[in-house]
Amino acid sequence: MQTAGYTEVILKELQTVLSSIEDSEADKMVEALLASKKIFVAGGGRSGFMAKSFVMRLMHIGLDPYIVGETVTPNLDADDIFVVASGSGETQSFVAMTEKARKIGAIVAAVTINPDSTIGKLGDIVVEIPAQAKAEGDSGKSIQPMGSLFEQSLLLFFDAVILKIMEKKSLTSQTMYGRHANLE
């Protein structure tokens, strides 16, 4: 298959997955992000890269976001939100973090393939991204390897959340650009 053909299939897969996300859960996440004092986001591997891009945009919007595990990340408090991106919803390090966030009293937003997973069951807000999990391999849900469809969907979902927040706060790209790094 030609590269353009693969791209076309990937775009169709993304459209199918993203059109299946429940707006009500996404809206709950937007409201919780706006109501929280600080925002903590966790994800591993490629999902972690998507989490970092989300945190960058949250900062551009003027919120107070952090990547869990960075040296400058402050403590999580009860008036904060913990957003955890885990395809399987069973990654042990993220299960432990999610349990701790619940114990502290923070809102937990789980973004996962599997809402019935340990992390999904711990979430106050559960956004299901019905993509292929890494372990499903050649399940037929995607021509892409491992968790690629989830990770791509995660990035686009997070960008859609940013757009919803921009709309609620009447922000433009120009307003956000004023918070962009300028030390280069």
Q: Is position 99 annotated as part of the catalytic site? A: no
The overall longest dimension of the chain from CA atoms, in Å, is: 51
Instruction: Please count the other Cβ atoms lying within 10 Å of the Cβ belonging to residue 175.
Output: 14
Given the residues 13, 25, 128, 151, the one annotated as active site: 151
The residues with which 42 forms a beta bridge, in sequence order, are 84
Q: Is the pTM of this model over 0.95?
A: no
Full pLDDT tens readout for the chain, 184 residues: 788 888 998 899 999 999 999 899 999 999 999 999 999 999 999 999 999 999 999 999 999 999 999 999 989 999 999 999 999 999 999 999 999 999 999 999 999 999 999 999 999 999 999 987 665 555 567 877 678 899 999 999 999 999 999 999 998 888 877 767 665 5
